[in-house]
Structure 1
Amino acid sequence: MQNTQKSQFISLFSSSTSSSMAIATSSDWLFPPCINCKNRILKPKFCYSCKTLPFLSNIFLNSTTTLVAKSSSSCSSPVLDEKKSQKTPSKNSQVIELLDLEQIQDFSSTTNGTTSSTSLPDSKDLNGVICSLLKDPQTQEIGYDYYEKAKGKKDFRPEKSTLKLLIRYLVNSNKWGSVFSLSKDLRTLKVLPDSSTCCRLISSCMKSRKFKIVNSFLELFIVVDQEISVLAFDSAMKGYNKLHMYSSTVVLYERMKSAGLVLDPGCYCSIMEAHSKMGNSDKVVSFFEEFESKRVESTIPQYVQIYKSLCESLGKSGRAFEALEYFRDMTKKGIQEDHSFYSIVICGFASIHEVKMAEELLEEAEGKKMLRDPALFLKLVLMYIEEGCMEKTLDVVATMTRVKIRVSDCIFCAIVNGFSRKRGLRSAVQVYEDLTSQGCEPGQVTYASVMNLYCRLGLYSNAEMVFSEMEQKGFDKCVVAYSSMIAMYGKTGRPKDAMKLVAIMKERGCQPNVWVYNALLDIHGKVLNLRQVEKIWKEMKRRKIFPDRVSYTSIISAYSKAREFDKCLIYYQEFTLNGGRLDRAMAGIMVGVFSKMNRVDELISLLQNMKREGTKLDGRLQKSALNSLRDAGLQIQAKWLQESFGAT
């Protein structure tokens, strides 16, 4: 029976090119008859009862040859015909043909818990089978199961090609538990995949934040192969830097040092970048000097990145002159410079306000056509604003136009706000109009700033035109712009337009913030619409918008004007309980409230707090407080008030 069964399976896995073939009758395989319906042949379903061959049954069901049953003792005698268009047998079936049927049966039974006296095929044949299965996406899982069974045999050692395919399958399938188990297998077998596979494995684990697996493999690499371990540590360092986990990169360096590993140029790049981001410029210089002492050829690609990390670290730490010196040394060595070096060095000089050096390097970079970084121009604009050289900010715009770099919204806004602080509101508006006429396009931030300028100058029609232009360009979710417009409507006595704009704002999915609510409280408080004020306050609470000092000042002022002093006290107590600090507006309102309510104790306490915090009191409120104290017969306190805040 055993020889008969063996001949059956050999015939099943052979790649016969004949037009028909016969399969002997067996109790282990049952073939239903074929149904031929004109232009289509229904493939038979193979039902097996062989409990010792689950692996071979899967391979057989995936084979590419279409069979039709010929004969069986239990049914009529149909014929097994191949399709007219025959397909080449898959590599999987070709590899399986290499294995002896009895050996595979014994292997399957051994892994199912029984013992067998027959040995497995040699390691090379097993590696070939596993590789073939892992190459096909449909049989990858079977290939991994086969590896799990094979690794229990003493004479089995996975080859590098096997490990490469195995790692690729496990990583792509996110089977991280199996990846961790594989590290233990490799430690036991003392074998490793090739260096590129090891590096890709570490990079994939880092991207998925599987740090425990990374550490396990790094320890394995140190024990088995130090050359591969250096490359793997470099991949891990790069991964930590990409995740901004710079301190972890430093820890890996310490592990390399304790293990006696020699850093390669890639490791120097990573550790220098980590210390640069952490602000340790001295460490960066120290590593650079250590790298230079190794006298590495300047043609290696990592040399540029090493110099870049060095110059960037020195520039950010205020050592721009040193950065420039290293940059010049780099060019003398013949290392190719690029635009990023000029950006780093110029930004370094701009940060320490070395205007002359920054301008000289800018001119040099423009001559070499190496001005490509918009952040560089923003740094120059901010430098000129702090130095008060406002006209030179416009020269920066002219330079950007020459090198065909678009003036960004941040640069445009910085120039407008700079003129507003240094030269006044009208100068800022004039610069905005000049730059727009030159073709500079404002963005959302610039539009919002200019709207605020127009509102402060009382040019309300201009502000509405800018807001309309914003909406046309799609900037319809700017909370700052909405709050400026709502405040403008309040100043011009248009509360209905303000409420309409809030409704539009909500429809567009832009939720009001505390600035918008403060503007609404001020608008309705001035016209003593207390019902609307209370409604807005409750909406703030419901939306969990926490009131600030301006909010409390507006609502207390509204109730004070309506002479509802009890409400004023309630909101003032809430303000103080929330940690609110007095300013001149709040103090002035509450002095009036306490004076009119003849609450002398609270008035004296408030005045003492104002004195302690240095808050001044205007003449009208000082006179009101003084009269309240005199009416209460508190002459000593009245005298103290005059001495503390001056005679009226």
Structure 2
Amino acid sequence: MAISSSSPSSGDWSLASFLSCRKPHKTLKLQSSFSIPTWNVRAFQVINSSSCPSPILEDQASTNLPDTEVDLKFQELQIPDAEDSLNEFLCGLFHDPETEAMGYEQYAKAKKVANFRPNKSTLEHATRLVISCIRARKFKIARTLLEVFKSDGDVALSAFNSTMRGYNELHMYKSTISVFEKMISAGIGPDSGCYCRIMEAYFRKGDYRKVVELFQELKSEKLDLTPLSTQFLFKSLSKLGKPVEALEIFRSMSKEGISLDSSKIYSVLISSFATIREVKVAEELFKEAETKKMLRDPTVFLRLITMYVEEGLVDKTIEVVKVMKGANIRVSDNICCAVVSGFSRKSGLLTAAKVFEDLILMGCQAGQVTYASIINVYCRLGLHSKAEMVFKEMEAKGFDKCVVAYSSMVAMYGKTGRPRDAMKLVAKMKERGCKPNVWIYNSLMDMHGRDNNMRQVAKLWSEMKRRKVSPDKVSYTTVIGAYNKAGDFDMCLRYYNEYRTHGGALDKAMAGMMVGVFSKSGRVDELVKLLRDMKEERTGLDVRLYRSALNALADSGMEMQVKWFQSSFEVT
């Protein structure tokens, strides 16, 4: 049997063309259990009003349908159960990607029949076409469909909801807002689902006040409060810095028996109070959520740990980690690192080392970031053997490309007078495809400079430039210090001029070094210029450098400059 249809409108034809292009034309097979019974055929009037075939069908697509040709332009439904059969038939067309365009065409014709009432399944399939167009970036067709559905009371609400959902999936939140405004102007009252879509759009755009306003509007319309809409409310109140108000609303809704996704709401509330350091309230909510077994989000634990670290509460931090272990929530590398680095900054290196060892005893697994942090702690504490042991353990676990860990180890070798070990480690680092950074080059130049190995210093500087690693202030201070120690003042001046040419500022370390260089080399004019630059940039001098600069000016017989210097600088 062949199916033909009347010529579709321009909007319909565009949709049909779009859908027909998604897959090559094949023999039509309806993916539905429905077949048109012979006793029901009289419900359909055979129409051959146009010789133009359907855009998505070919003549050979006739083998799997009953012998009677149908166009589905229905004028009468003479059999009581024909309506159900028609709905099922339309769903069969919608279900198959190769025939869903024809399904839309036949749905539009069926709607003209007074006795036809689409059921829920038919409506869902019809509106699904809109979101299909949006996902395929066929926005013009989607707008055309929306205009058609806008005047269809049965399908309009669902069509607008689907459209907004499609735009949100593509992060096109301005389009979602535009569709919502069009919906309101058309006099279509949004349901709970539509409010969720528009609240999400405003939330993603950062308009949290509008989200709160929309929720209040949703509540005033006495529509169902969905878990998703309440989540956007609490998140928005949190972003607005109103966790107390959010908590009050949560308590009120819980008493009213409103369905909530309590796990996610507890996550928002605990994180909000932890962020503003309301320790007592955050703790109460945490214990309440733990009792109800609502703690599932690792972010909550990270926020609580950060709060306790900032407050210097080691025992409380360990308790939170224990709760995570008890709830079978993985203690991530980020959390371990937050604990170690946080206590290193707030409570000292020894506390950080102890906390790390406690975490390992509890069965926590350190990752690359945590290893890098604790290696740095051990190096700064002078626990070099522990640092080496942890570094080897880190390598054994496959974390052999961490530049931060390499930097700490190279600096440690430099401070302990082990330049060969440092160079071997850097060579191994390069073999593994890990590029040395400016910190590593600074450490290497410093250790070779202290050994007066200026050839190696020059070689490292050239390698750094060749690898396009930009030198920083420490690099210039290090190389100038090395040449100053070697007595090569011309090279000191060369690197200093390069530093200033590239916009380098004068801090006490650089200024102090150059005061010594100019004083020892008798470059009084350069010294005076340096001192004037220091005055302009408000760089102070310590006692030693003050005396050095004063003696250099006095020895040169520059009385006026001496007086200017004494009136311009104070010992800091």
Q: TM-score range by the shorter chain?
A: 0.7 to 0.9
1:434 to 349, 358, 364: 358
* Aligned residue in 2 for 1:345: 269
* Residues 223 and 519 of structure 1: CA distance in aligned 2, closer, same or farther (over 3 Å): same
* Aligned residue in 1 for 2:440: 516
The 2-side partners of 1:534 and 1:233 are apart by 69
* Aligned residue in 1 for 2:40: none
Shift of 1:563: 2.5
Say yes or no: does 1:537 pair with 2:464.
no
1:214 to 125, 139, 159: 139
The 2-side partners of 1:496 and 1:202 are apart by 69
* Aligned residue in 1 for 2:15: none
The 2-side partners of 1:381 and 1:297 are apart by 36
Secondary structure of the corresponding residue to residue 423 of structure 2: helix
| 8 Å Cα contact 1:495/1:524 also seen in 2 | yes
Percent of residue pairs bearing the same amino acid type: 52
User: What are the residue-to-residue correspondences of 1:77-88 with 2, within 5 Å?
Assistant: none
The 1-side partners of 2:56 and 2:549 are apart by 98
Which is worse superposed, 535-544 or 465-474?
A: 535-544
The 1-side partners of 2:162 and 2:423 are apart by 58
The 1-side partners of 2:438 and 2:163 are apart by 46
Say yes or no: does 1:310 pair with 2:237.
no
* Residues 517 and 241 of structure 1: CA distance in aligned 2, closer, same or farther (over 3 Å): farther
User: What are the residue-to-residue correspondences of 1:217-228 with 2, within 5 Å?
Assistant: 217-226=142-151, 228=155
Amino acid at match of 1:214: F
1:622 to 546, 555, 560: 546
2:320 to 388, 391, 396: 396
1:410 to 313, 334, 347: 334
CA deviations on 1:363-398 (whole Å, 9 max, x unpaired) are 111111111111101101111222333332122122
* Unaligned runs of at least 5 residues, structure 2: 3-23, 31-46, 64-70, 72-88, 113-120
* Aligned residue in 2 for 1:324: 247
Shift of 1:425: 1.1
Amino acid at match of 1:221: L
The 1-side partners of 2:474 and 2:487 are apart by 20
Amino acid at match of 1:217: A
* Aligned residue in 2 for 1:22: none
Which is worse superposed, 515-524 or 313-322?
A: 515-524
Secondary structure of the corresponding residue to residue 633 of structure 1: coil
- TM-score, length-scaled by structure 1: 0.68
* Aligned residue in 2 for 1:354: 278
Shift of 1:621: 2.3
* Aligned residue in 2 for 1:117: none
| 8 Å Cα contact 1:91/1:132 also seen in 2 | no
Say yes or no: does 1:634 pair with 2:551.
no
Shift of 1:535: 2.5
* Aligned residue in 2 for 1:375: 299
* Residues 574 and 219 of structure 1: CA distance in aligned 2, closer, same or farther (over 3 Å): farther
The 2-side partners of 1:204 and 1:551 are apart by 58
Shift of 1:132: 8.4
- TM-score, length-scaled by structure 2: 0.77
Shift of 1:215: 4.3
Secondary structure of the corresponding residue to residue 57 of structure 2: helix
* Residues 256 and 423 of structure 1: CA distance in aligned 2, closer, same or farther (over 3 Å): same
The 2-side partners of 1:135 and 1:525 are apart by 88
Which is worse superposed, 373-382 or 636-645?
A: 636-645
Secondary structure of the corresponding residue to residue 130 of structure 1: coil
* Aligned residue in 2 for 1:266: 193
* Residues 593 and 367 of structure 1: CA distance in aligned 2, closer, same or farther (over 3 Å): same
Say yes or no: does 1:366 pair with 2:290.
yes
Shift of 1:305: 0.2
Runs ≥4 residues deviating over 6 A: 131-136, 159-163
* Aligned residue in 2 for 1:76: none
Supply the RMSD in Å over aligned alpha carbons. Answer: 4.1
2:429 to 505, 526, 535: 505
Shift of 1:588: 1.5
* Residues 616 and 255 of structure 1: CA distance in aligned 2, closer, same or farther (over 3 Å): farther
Whose Rg is larger? 1
| 8 Å Cα contact 1:489/1:498 also seen in 2 | yes
CA deviations on 1:223-246 (whole Å, 9 max, x unpaired) are 453565554444444344445454
